[in-house]
Structure 1
Amino acid sequence: MKGEGSEHGFVIGGTEIAARPLEPALYLVATPIGNLGDMTIRGLETLASADVVACEDTRVTRILLDRYGIRQRPLPYHEHNAAEAGPRLLKALEDGRSVALVSDAGTPLVSDPGFRLVEQAVEAGIRVVPVPGPSAVLAALTASGLPSDTFLFGGFLPVKDGQRRARLEELKAAPATLIFFESPRRLADTLAAMVDVLGERPAAVARELTKTFEELRRGSLAELAGFYASAETPKGEVVVCVGPPLKSDALSEDDTDRLLLSLASEMPASKAAAEAARMTGGKKPDLYRRLLELKADGEE
């Protein structure tokens, strides 16, 4: 349903709501990842009142604005025009105007070009205001059934297989649930690479989150790789969640030594040993003794 709206308002369920004025600032407004009903009231107020609305694709954002009767003319800001559009948006902010930045779906700056604009705004002393809401990363994580106390978002993995595997090697020892965005056509190859590099771990593939054909498939990496290797190419946006290393995936002695020295460069030896024990499943006294040996060897 399209609302009629007013110049600075929005419509919900046929009721027109006036939006409050905004203070000059850069507002980072999260938008729905599929279901338009997930848009927050504060997000609607911000879009309705902003002096400027900047977005990735004006056609996509126009659908959201029309749905809630918001009479704004969004301006494009994306990776291909950021060099030209960014300075204009920054100038508007420096002139005391309010700018709302949205991505096509989800929270701005997550795998989109908004970081540079925020960085410039911070450097210029301009206030940056997050307007939180939908996030594909958190939606997938919370529904995956995997540990959610510590997680690492890896964005999109490299397209080329060698670079993709190298990136996975870098993240292999991270004591956290790993989360990635992936293209449907590369999903099977990515899962196969994950099996080879990360080994046997629990995982989940979330597809079309919040949409009509939402799907969340859980299993081991090997099971998921086998399924998508023989299935038709899936449709829609995909998020892959991979559980942290299993306790049986013990680090080599060299890897453990490197971890200990890295932690010891940032914290006292006792605390470094305790953190290494938590991360590896090893015993703190043994790790503490090993760290002292490494330090002694380094001082010789």
Structure 2
Amino acid sequence: MEVALYLIPVTLGDTPIESVLPQYNKQIIVQIKHFIVEDIRSARRFLKKVDREIDIDTLTFYPLNKYTSPEEISGYLKPLTQGMPMGVISEAGCPAVADPGADVVAIAQKKNLKVVPLVGPSSIILSVMASGFNGQSFAFHGYIPIEPAERIKTLKHLEQRIYSENQTQLFIETPYRNNKMAEDILNNCRPQTKLCIAANITCEGEYIKTKTVKEWKGKLPDLTKIPCIFLLYK
């Protein structure tokens, strides 16, 4: 096995692993003993789903979140510098994409350590694929402001970019505020602007629909507590 920092995708929800992750990932994962993870408990559960025979107690986990200092992260890579492969596991989807994993990858690159991304589900890419929007030029903005005036200003700015740059705009919201986000879009964007709502991607109850703002009015689904991405285009 090649010594590298392996970026290990995780299912986006309670989806059977074999339906979204290649067998090759398992072959890599079972050989790794050191994991940098966003949440230790969920990482342990994921590894058991990958292979029930994995002895979790023989593994070492290094927590990586917004509170982890660059010095700590750099120290996490010591096993890799000593010739042992390491893995990075996020809460869901692909590590280092809208995820604190990017910090450890940046340090690995700076140290000239090999980084290998494994294939797996990305809600960002999958939502663009299914939206019918411009897949040649798109921008993901993560969470947009909560404060009403700033949120409206941001929505209008993103909508303007659709028309001026011919660019698809993507963003997310905390799941319990999804319904409010959808309403804010309908109340502040042009009637002809297209909105794609992509929810529960790859999971049971997957919902991906594209309509104009005008067509969505009065027909929004209940998005409470559902992982969701919103996409805007012309």
| Superposition TM-score, scaled by structure 2 size | 0.82
Q: Aligned AA for 2:32?
A: A
Which of 170, 175, 181 is matched with 1:179 structurally? 170
Question: Which structure is higher in RCO with an 8 Å CA cutoff and minimum separation 6?
Answer: 2
* Contact 1:48/1:71 (<8 A) preserved: no
The SS at the match of 1:209 is coil
What is the rounded CA distance, in whole Å, between the counterparts of 1:180 and 1:75 in structure 2? 29
What is the rounded CA distance, in whole Å, between the counterparts of 1:220 and 1:46 in structure 2? 44
Which of 109, 114, 119 is matched with 2:101 structurally? 114
- Per-residue CA shift, 1:61-110, capped at 9, x if unaligned? 22221122233434322223355641321223333322110111111112
The SS at the match of 2:55 is coil
Match of 1:76 in 2: 63
Between Structure 1 and Structure 2, how many residues are aligned? 221
Structure showing greater Rg = 1
| Superposition TM-score, scaled by structure 1 size | 0.65
- Per-residue CA shift, 1:190-216, capped at 9, x if unaligned? 234434554231121121112222222
What is the rounded CA distance, in whole Å, between the counterparts of 1:182 and 1:136 in structure 2? 13
Which of 127, 149, 166 is matched with 2:114 structurally? 127
Deviation at 1:155, TM superposition (A): 1.7
Deviation at 1:220, TM superposition (A): 1.6
* Contact 2:108/2:115 (<8 A) preserved: yes
Q: 1:185 to 1:224 in 2, by over 3 A?
A: farther
1:140-289 → structure 2 map (5 Å cutoff): 140-171=127-158, 172-173=160-161, 174-195=165-186, 198-199=189-190, 200-224=192-216, 226-228=218-220, 232=222, 234-243=224-233, 245=234
- Is 2:4 the partner of 1:25? yes
Where structure 1 has 5 or more consecutive residues not aligned to the other structure, the ranges are 1-20, 246-300
* Contact 2:196/2:230 (<8 A) preserved: yes
Where structure 2 has 5 or more consecutive residues not aligned to the other structure, the ranges are none
- Is 2:48 the partner of 1:56? no
- More helix as a share of residues: 1
What is the rounded CA distance, in whole Å, between the counterparts of 1:89 and 1:138 in structure 2? 29
* Contact 1:77/1:85 (<8 A) preserved: no
